[in-house]
Amino acid sequence: MVNSLDEMNSYPWSGHAVVMNRIKNIWQDRDTVLRYFSQKESAALQAYQEYIMEQCSLGKQPQLTGGGLVRSVGGWSEVLSQKQRREKQFSDERILGSGAFVKEILDEAEENIKARVPVSSSNDDALELLQKRCDAAGILLQVLQAGSKQRKIAQVRKELAVQLVKEMGMSYADAAKLLGISASAVNQIFRRPGNKVQ
């Protein structure tokens, strides 16, 4: 819980501290937020701070509290009423809208994921990919999986991590297990320019 703007400036669980340049999150686009206020950073920060202070002075706003379902159906009383009538609403706290709308959005997202991830992303296919790439590079798969830090092996491992995640749709953790490294090491690979997952 944050009790003041000063606390919020360094609070790590909201985007505000990033906008204020007190915390860095590589995944948060600070510049886009600031451009809504001005093209010049110092003027944008000043206008942003004024906006935040103005919004804080409004106090708690009931229409902005509760998750997507709560707001969509008209508040907690309607949620409880539907529960008593044994009516179910499909919901997701990230999406504001009716149950039917939420389901449609999630179904569409799932279809997009299926279209991007090839059906052949099993462990057998992944192991075959690793073996072929190691053979082509003239290295042993066991050496790659043992965490060798030789430059050539590390480079092959990086390329394979990108393929496993981007092309085969594997999670960082699953790719890490196959490559003999940690999930955070795979994450570090994707922090480098040009490797980001689209």
**Model confidence pLDDT, tens digit, residues 139-176:** 999 999 988 889 999 999 999 999 998 888 888 888 88
Has residue 37 got a pLDDT over 90? yes
Computed over every residue of the chain, the mean pLDDT equals: 78
Report the phi/psi class of residue 180: left, alpha or beta, with left for phi > 0 and alpha for psi in -120 to 50: left
pLDDT score at 135: 94
Has residue 25 got a pLDDT over 80? yes
Residues of the chain with pLDDT > 70, as a percent, come to: 69
**Is the full-model pTM beyond 0.85?**
no
Has residue 102 got a pLDDT over 80? no
Has residue 43 got a pLDDT over 90? yes
Has residue 66 got a pLDDT over 80? no
pLDDT score at 160: 93
Has residue 81 got a pLDDT over 60? yes
Q: Which residue has the higher pLDDT, 44 or 55?
A: 44
Has residue 46 got a pLDDT over 90? yes
Going by C-beta distance under 8 Å and a sequence separation of 6 or more, which residues neighbour residue 45?
20, 21, 34, 37
Has residue 32 got a pLDDT over 60? yes
172-179 vs 183-191: helix crossing angle, rounded to 10: 110
Q: What is the pLDDT of residues 108-141, one digit of tens each?
A: 766 665 555 444 445 788 889 999 999 999 999 9
pLDDT score at 39: 92
pLDDT score at 197: 47
Secondary structure string (H, E, C) spanning 126-169: HHHHHHHHHHHHCCCHHHHHCCCCCHHHHHHHHHHHHHHHHHCC
Amino acid in position 193: P
Has residue 196 got a pLDDT over 90? no
Alpha helices in the chain, H assignment, sequence order? 5-8, 16-19, 30-35, 41-56, 68-73, 76-84, 99-116, 123-137, 141-145, 151-162, 172-179, 183-191
pLDDT score at 194: 59
pLDDT score at 90: 54
Q: Are 126 and 178 in contact (CB under 8 A)?
A: yes
